[in-house]
């Protein structure tokens, strides 16, 4: 059984992707945890319901559409981190930097708590939440360290590596489930998943690209880069179900391919920077940015030194809050890229990332940026945009900035500063769908609609090939930009959030074991904030003292000390929960309110016993070293102006000013020298004050909410489009799907119109491929969000009974732990006995009446029996079929076998094994074994290498049919 359900992304304008696969035995596989730029927590409700039933999770691409909700699920869905997660190494590394960039760029990624959830908890306060205006309270966002820890839970896999995953603790047995990752193109580490479970062979291919690019190799359908095969890989051919994305199903590839696309982008940039304009190219911060960054860097390398080139006075930049880490990971994963990148790296002598003293004698590596500058702070971007030449004229600039949606990241900041100049240009690199419903239209979608409408005319610029470049005038149209700002919670909103947090912990504690730990960090922040505010408050003797005991009993006794409560609710516990409070009036109190509270620290345990804190067992000299490090990080702790006449603890050792570090705390820390490629701003402005790079926005760590402000700007720049999405086009789909020959085809991740049109085309193609079949008989599904599709394999199973005489004649053959046997017999049908013995029929007396009802046994099914052939029929029924060999021979195993037999065996190229220098064994992408030998090796001699290799190959296979 195989059931498919799309949680997000089916027949939708949203790019988010979430798919649920349910297999035999209740095994559930979740593929991708994508989100869109709205960051609406309501879109994750169905996923949250499925978390307690999931077996494993698979990730395909390191993009917002495929894993933007991963950190949110890990932090706010308690059981999510206990589910095994699998992805390739680039998806893990680049996904980590993507989410760190996302959460540091926009407060909306933290998600707004729904107003309905807050209304349910606000009844206990005298001032309820306003129903006219939502408070827009945010959930606690994961920190950078938490995001890194979440991604460390993912199990890395390599391409073509079959793996049997472990199930989650609350999952049924997987029963031999096998997953295999194949290259999907589109992004670095992008994956086509092959899932094998019993008779079900499922291929999940969403967002793939068959064509080779500058950095990324093509998808592995025909053997990957350099495969050049005419047939699909055997492992991906004829699956029981193919799940494919329909996004781009109506897109026609650009004539000229990748070369023409790159030339078009470079010509667009030249036309703008030659006039001193600024070119903004919005892109993602982890995936497609690698292709664009590589192209710009190599374009500047080849043309910046030419006389009269527009690139000689222009400068390219790459802006993202975590781009340094992204490029560092990219330099360490060249083996996942195209062969051309590997050859380029080998030509540089493998010195990527090092500073070359003489760059003219030795070329830089693929991602050693000589011209492209990396920007990670808003102050750097402001300085770049304001830069002019010696005469005060604007300098041409090209800025790659995240994100593609223009709703968050530096691309939004750059756009607001360049909209008023018609020399500037925005190059869109992906097609945008129409907005859903009557909601707000995003910035990128609005610009895309303007480019399609071309209402204010088109500017034609000459290209290097002689053609004209189309750049659409915005014409001063008004663009509404929504700004989201994080502010700290105060007053009634803080009380409502505390009550909501306590209620959530109660629900998690009562429904899931250990679930309360998911909100501990949020409660800790609340406690710290409330304890600081209580230092300036006077004590008040009210009737609400001791109320904390009743509330704690109601909330279930789990993590009582973590719940955020007011001073009145704490009662006697205020003595240990608040700083600077040393007295409490116990007159008129009863029970526990008259006793000094005792805080019992709960011991933390794991599967290996009690957790031990290493800092509790430090020696005296080790503790001094740790204290010294703490002092270095707090340079003003013992300044004379701050400590004169003040008390300090006994174990605090004052550090004299003459014993401080050479770069004391009152000095700015030195910025490390940037690597080759000038990722810092030192190459641009040597004498600039580094303090201007610091962002003015203060970090808010406590409970917070988001405030929205709207700004309307007049857009006078130009708009252009160059397709750098790196997705399959209509021709690729129509060529490959008939070669794959899936039994059932499911289309997801696309808009409604293009999905239905592509489904109709594929029905025609598959019907023509099979022949003699009507189009309506081809199983092509186009499910909507939430719709379940039964895509089980169409198989029939029969149960037969073997006689003892036939069983004794069976000769079993073993192939990789499986038993295979060939048999020929006569099938007979045995009818069940018609007579029913007395006493076997059950009698049941009725309560009312004397009559007896006899319950007859249910009729038994007929079980056919397979018996040996009689002697007079054996000769007439001999099989004339050709021998059929079963098994999968691996060249690595054959190499070991031949070496153990005394032969020499070594690999010569990919998929080629040379034995004794005279026999070559090849394995094609379709699984076919080819043996070639010289004339002497192929002679019919008993000890010849050719026949020795042939016999060893046959020994590893099983003959299941033949004469």
* Mean pLDDT in residue range 819-826: 80
More confident residue, 892 or 263: 263
Average pLDDT, the chain: 77
Q: What is the pLDDT of residue 36?
A: 87
Q: What is the pLDDT of residue 266?
A: 93
- List alpha helices for 475-609, DSSP H: 491-511, 520-533, 547-554, 567-570, 574-577
- Say whether pLDDT at 140 is over 80: yes
**Measured between alpha carbons, how far is 445 from 405 in angstroms, rounded to an integer?**
8
The pairing of beta strand 801-802 with beta strand 863-867: parallel
**Measured between alpha carbons, how far is 813 from 278 in angstroms, rounded to an integer?**
71
Q: What is the pLDDT of residue 525?
A: 45
Q: Note the pLDDT tens digit of each residue in 682-713.
A: 344 333 443 344 454 556 778 888 899 999 99
Q: What is the pLDDT of residue 701?
A: 75
More confident residue, 560 or 339: 339
State the CB neighbour count (10 A cutoff) for residue 439: 9
**Measured between alpha carbons, how far is 98 from 321 in angstroms, rounded to an integer?**
9
Q: What is the pLDDT of residue 863?
A: 76
Q: What is the pLDDT of residue 291?
A: 93
* Mean pLDDT in residue range 589-615: 75
Q: What is the pLDDT of residue 641?
A: 40
- Say whether pLDDT at 832 is over 80: no
Closest to 813 in 3D by CA, of 929, 957, 948, 962: 957
Query: Which residues lie below 8 Å from residue 821, measured CB to CB, with a gap of 6+?
Result: 810, 811, 812, 813
* Mean pLDDT in residue range 351-372: 62
Least confident interval from 232-236, 299-303, 520-524, 735-739: 520-524
Q: What is the pLDDT of residue 771?
A: 66
Q: What is the pLDDT of residue 86?
A: 96
pLDDT over 70 for what percent of the chain? 72
Residue 680: DSSP 8-state:
S
Q: Note the pLDDT tens digit of each residue in 624-645.
A: 555 544 444 444 444 444 444 4
> Can you count the helices (H) and strands (E) in the chain?
26, 38
Q: Note the pLDDT tens digit of each residue in 488-500.
A: 888 888 888 888 8
* Mean pLDDT in residue range 517-536: 45
Band of the pLDDT at 557, cuts 50, 70, 90?
very low
Band of the pLDDT at 3, cuts 50, 70, 90?
very high
Least confident interval from 136-150, 171-185, 626-640, 725-739: 626-640
Q: What is the pLDDT of residue 392?
A: 72
* Mean pLDDT in residue range 134-147: 86
Least confident interval from 267-276, 335-344, 823-832, 835-844: 835-844
Band of the pLDDT at 922, cuts 50, 70, 90?
confident
Q: Which two tokens mark 792?
A: 């089980």
Burial code of 419-434, b = ≥16 C-beta within 10 A, e = fewer? bebbbbbbbbbbbbbe
Q: What is the pLDDT of residue 130?
A: 46
Q: What is the pLDDT of residue 777?
A: 66
- Say whether pLDDT at 826 is over 80: yes
- Say whether pLDDT at 535 is over 50: no
Q: Strands, E, within 678-725: which ranges? A: 704-715, 718-721
More confident residue, 90 or 352: 90
Query: Which residues lie below 8 Å from residue 881, measured CB to CB, with a gap of 6+?
Result: 961, 962, 963
More confident residue, 623 or 397: 397
* Mean pLDDT in residue range 57-81: 93
Band of the pLDDT at 587, cuts 50, 70, 90?
confident
Band of the pLDDT at 945, cuts 50, 70, 90?
confident
**Report field, pTM of the whole predicted structure over 0.75:** no
pLDDT over 90 for what percent of the chain? 25
Q: What is the pLDDT of residue 840?
A: 45
Least confident interval from 455-469, 679-693, 753-767: 679-693
Q: Decide: 241 and 203 in contact? Cβ < 8 Å.
A: yes
* Mean pLDDT in residue range 137-145: 89
- Say whether pLDDT at 959 is over 60: yes
More confident residue, 588 or 708: 708
Q: What is the pLDDT of residue 7?
A: 92
Q: What is the pLDDT of residue 772?
A: 59
């Amino acid at each position: 059984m195989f059931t498919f359900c799309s949680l997000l992304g089916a027949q939708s304008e949203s790019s988010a992707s979430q798919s649920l696969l349910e297999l035999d035995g209740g095994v559930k596989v979740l593929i991708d945890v994508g989100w869109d730029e709205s960051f609406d927590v309501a879109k994750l409700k169905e996923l949250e319901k499925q978390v307690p039933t999931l077996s494993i999770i698979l990730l395909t691409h390191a993009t917002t559409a495929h894993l933007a909700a991963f950190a949110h699920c890990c932090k706010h869905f308690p059981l999510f981190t206990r589910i095994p997660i699998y992805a390739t190494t680039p998806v893990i590394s680049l996904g980590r930097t993507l989410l760190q960039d996302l959460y540091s760029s926009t407060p909306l990624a933290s998600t707004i708590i729904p107003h309905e959830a807050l209304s349910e908890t606000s009844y206990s306060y005298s001032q309820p939440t306003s129903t006219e205006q939502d408070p827009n309270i945010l959930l606690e966002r994961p920190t950078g360290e938490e995001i890194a820890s979440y991604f460390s839970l993912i199990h890395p896999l390599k391409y073509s590596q079959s793996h049997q995953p472990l199930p989650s603790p609350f999952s049924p047995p997987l029963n031999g489930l096998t997953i295999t990752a194949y290259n999907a193109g589109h992004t670095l580490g992008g994956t086509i998943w092959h899932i094998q479970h019993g008779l079900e062979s499922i291929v999940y291919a969403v967002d793939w690209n068959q064509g080779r690019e500058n950095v990324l190799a093509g998808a592995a359908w025909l053997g990957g880069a350099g495969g050049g095969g005419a047939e699909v890989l055997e492992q991906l051919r004829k699956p029981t179900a193919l799940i494919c994305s329909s996004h781009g199903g109506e897109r026609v590839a650009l004539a000229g391919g990748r070369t023409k696309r790159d030339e078009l982008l470079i010509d667009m940039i030249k036309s703008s920077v030659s006039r001193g304009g600024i070119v903004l190219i919005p892109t993602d911060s982890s995936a497609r940015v690698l292709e664009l960054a590589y192209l710009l860097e190599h374009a500047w390398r080849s043309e910046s030194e030419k006389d009269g080139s527009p690139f000689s006075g222009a400068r390219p930049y790459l802006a993202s809050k975590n781009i340094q880490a992204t490029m560092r990971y990219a330099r360490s994963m060249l083996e996942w890229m195209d062969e051309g990148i590997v050859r380029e790296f080998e030509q540089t002598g493998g010195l990527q990332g090092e500073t070359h003293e003489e760059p003219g004698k030795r070329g830089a590596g693929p991602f050693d940026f000589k011209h492209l500058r990396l920007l990670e702070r808003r102050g750097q971007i402001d300085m770049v945009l304001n830069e002019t030449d010696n005469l005060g004229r604007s300098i041409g600039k090209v800025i790659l900035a995240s994100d593609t949606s223009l709703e968050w990241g530096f691309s939004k900041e750059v756009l607001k500063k360049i909209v008023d100049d018609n020399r500037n240009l925005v190059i869109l690199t992906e097609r945008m769908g129409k907005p859903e419903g009557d909601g707000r239209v995003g910035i990128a979608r609005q610009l895309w609609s303007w480019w399609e409408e071309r209402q204010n005319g088109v500017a034609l610029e000459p290209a290097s090939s002689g053609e004209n470049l189309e750049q659409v005038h915005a014409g001063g149209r008004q663009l509404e930009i929504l700004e989201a700002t994080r502010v700290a919670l105060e007053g009634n909103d803080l009380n409502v959030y505390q009550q909501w947090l306590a209620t959530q912990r109660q629900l998690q504690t009562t429904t899931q074991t250990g679930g309360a730990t998911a909100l501990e960090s949020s409660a800790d922040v609340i406690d710290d904030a409330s304890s600081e505010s209580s230092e300036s408050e006077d004590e008040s003797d009210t009737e609400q003292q001791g109320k904390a005991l009743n509330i704690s009993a109601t909330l279930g006794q789990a993590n009582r000390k973590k719940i955020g409560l007011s001073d009145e609710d704490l009662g006697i516990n205020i003595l240990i929960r608040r700083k600077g409070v040393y007295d409490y009036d116990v007159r008129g109190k009863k029970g526990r309110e008259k006793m000094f509270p005792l805080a019992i620290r709960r011991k933390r345990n794991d599967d290996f016993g009690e957790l031990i804190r290493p800092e509790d067992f430090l020696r005296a000299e080790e503790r001094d070293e740790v204290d010294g490090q703490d002092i270095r990080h707090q340079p003003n702790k013992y300044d004379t102006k701050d400590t004169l006449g003040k008390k300090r603890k006994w174990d605090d050792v004052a550090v004299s000013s003459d014993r401080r570090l050479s770069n004391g705390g009152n000095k700015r820390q030195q910025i490390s020298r940037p690597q080759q490629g000038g990722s810092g701003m030192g190459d641009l402005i040597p004498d600039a004050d580094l303090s201007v790079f610091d962002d003015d926005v203060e970090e808010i760590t406590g409970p917070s909410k988001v405030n929205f402000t709207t700004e309307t700007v007049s857009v006078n720049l130009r708009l252009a489009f160059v397709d750098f999405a790196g997705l399959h086009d209509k021709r690729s789909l129509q060529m490959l799907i008939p070669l794959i020959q899936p039994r059932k085809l499911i289309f997801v991740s696309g808009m409604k119109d293009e999905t239905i049109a592509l489904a109709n085309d594929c029905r025609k193609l598959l019907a023509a491929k099979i022949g003699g079949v009507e189009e309506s008989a081809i199983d092509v599904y186009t499910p909507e969000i939430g719709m379940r599709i039964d895509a089980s394999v169409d198989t029939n199973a029969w149960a037969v009974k073997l006689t003892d005489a036939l069983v004794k004649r069976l000769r079993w053959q073993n192939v990789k732990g499986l038993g295979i046997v060939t048999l020929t017999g006569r099938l007979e049908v045995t009818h069940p006995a018609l007579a029913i013995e007395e006493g076997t029929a059950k009698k049941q007396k009725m309560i009312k009446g004397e009559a007896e009802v006899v319950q007859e046994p249910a009729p038994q099914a007929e079980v056919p029996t397979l018996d040996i052939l009689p002697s007079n029929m054996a000769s007439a029924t001999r099989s004339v079929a050709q021998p059929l060999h079963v098994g999968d021979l691996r060249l690595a195993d054959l190499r070991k076998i031949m070496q153990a037999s005394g032969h020499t065996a070594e690999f010569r190229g990919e998929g080629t094994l040379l034995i004794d220098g005279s026999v070559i064994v090849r394995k094609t992408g379709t699984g076919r074994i080819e043996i070639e030998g010289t004339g002497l090796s192929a002679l019919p001699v008993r000890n010849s290498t050719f026949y020795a290799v042939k016999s060893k190959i046959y020994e590893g296979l099983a003959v299941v049919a033949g004469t």
